[in-house]
Structure 1
Amino acid sequence: MDRMHFGEHSSTQFNAALESIRNHLMEMGGLVEKQVVDALQALLQADSALAEKVIETEKKVDKLEILIDEECTKVLALRQPAASDLRLIIAVSKAVSDLERIGDESAKIARMGLQLAEEGESPRGYVEVRHIGNHVRNMLRDALDAFARFDAHKALTVAAEDNEVDIEYASAMRSLATFMMEDPRSITRVLNIIWSLRALERIGDHARNIGEQVIYLVKGKDVRHISIDEIEEKLKS
């Protein structure tokens, strides 16, 4: 499926409405992707000003969520879209929800960064944050790119990467839990790292959700809650 499957309606207003929805989704995605990058930098570099900027950006993300929801509702009410157009509206609505939650998780990471800047750096966990952070940031970028290009196969790679993130996250949790038991004085600061890693793992989950919506949009197949192998089989059919 490509852009030609959308925007071929006799009504120029319908074409414009669909294009506006897609453009606003991409705008929101770019804003949220920047939030993730800035939140990681704020945490790793103890940059309080940047952390505050990430938190403040939440307001812009929330406004875009409301705007896109209103646009989707208007199209559903006035145009009664069918087939691929209806799938586009549904996929956008769900992707918007995931993007808003990614923004929330980014703000959580920024708040952990503020606490660490005040209390002093954690003795452990920054390597894991950087590694997993880069991984989920790439997942989000790829998920948004897949949505922009209607690329189901790229969306599949995002879903597969989420499994890798889950493994990395579990390993990091075991390592940090062991460290806290060995050095109880570090517990408060290491917990901030743990909450940040948890937020990153959730960002990976939401990126996967966006990828799954792309597959639904392109193939018309619901691939939630199934394995990567099962998704691959659905893409073949």
Structure 2
Amino acid sequence: MSEKHLSSSFEADLNLLSSRLLEMGGLVESQTALALAVLNEFDGALVAAVLEGEHRLNAMEIAIDEEVSHIIARRQPAARDLRFLLATSQCITNLERAGDEARKLVKRMRRIHRDGAPRAFNIAEIKISGEMALKILHKALDAFARMDAVGAAQIVREDEAVDKEFRAFVRNLVTYMMEDPRTISTGLEYLFIAKAIERIGDHATNIAESVVYVVRGTDI
């Protein structure tokens, strides 16, 4: 938090909370990057790393949320400080859910690999949307770190590009499965993968919206 407080210990509490959220965000970024690497080339070790990281994310969410509750009870904050604490709680929920989506992605890829399904689909749109979602997530965390409402508002607009790639992939996927019904099972796995990536972008956008809420006091 950039604003100064009469209580230096209160300011220290808020700064520590922000640091812990950003640490959690860094882990989600890493999880997402690993998941996208599995999308490019299956690697069982990377799958295991993502699944293990999910346990850490769950623990971090619980710990940070408990700290938010304690600070509210001890400090009884108002105005921007209260908005910051409420937004922090919302952000860690979105980070945990984004991590869930990375976990779903690698589990779907593991199933495709286990079933020996051939790479018959053009998944270029999935890869593009994945890189976009990861970029949006990074920008959202950066906006949170700096409480940059302008940058956060831009992220909200950028998420539409991820949605556009998702819709393009779905259209191509449906056409391909109609032409060759034998690909339906694998095609549905890729559909869920594409949806997971879209959701990561949505959760990143929610974080950006929380930044605008903290700084401007408006819910966009």
Q: TM-score range by the shorter chain?
A: over 0.9
Deviations 1:18-48 (A, max 9, x none): 1111011000000001111101111220112
Q: 2:102 aligns with which of 93, 100, 106?
A: 106
8 Å CA contact 2:83–2:214 kept in 1: the answer is yes
Query: Is 1:127 the equivalent of 2:124?
Result: yes
Partner of 1:230: none
Q: What is the deviation of 1:173?
A: 0.3
Moved over 3 A (4+): none
- Count of residue pairs brought into register by the alignment: 219
Secondary structure at the counterpart of residue 42 of structure 2: coil
Query: Is 1:173 the equivalent of 2:181?
Result: no
Q: Partner amino acid for 2:16?
A: S
Partner of 1:183: 180
Partner of 1:4: 2
Deviations 1:201-228 (A, max 9, x none): 11111111111000001111111xxxxx
8 Å CA contact 1:119–1:189 kept in 2: the answer is no
Query: Is 1:204 the equivalent of 2:201?
Result: yes
Q: How many Å separate the matches in 1 of 2:85 and 2:11? A: 13
Q: Percent identity?
A: 42
Deviations 1:163-197 (A, max 9, x none): 12212211110100110111111112221111100
8 Å CA contact 1:47–1:117 kept in 2: the answer is no
Q: 2:23 aligns with which of 27, 36, 54?
A: 27
5+ residue gaps, structure 1: 224-237
8 Å CA contact 1:43–1:113 kept in 2: the answer is yes
8 Å CA contact 1:35–1:106 kept in 2: the answer is yes
Partner of 1:50: 46
RMSD: 1.2
Q: How many Å separate the matches in 2 of 1:115 and 1:89? A: 40
Q: What is the deviation of 1:138?
A: 0.5
Partner of 2:71: 75
Q: What is the deviation of 1:9?
A: 2.5
Partner of 1:214: 211
Q: How many Å separate the matches in 2 of 1:189 and 1:85? A: 48
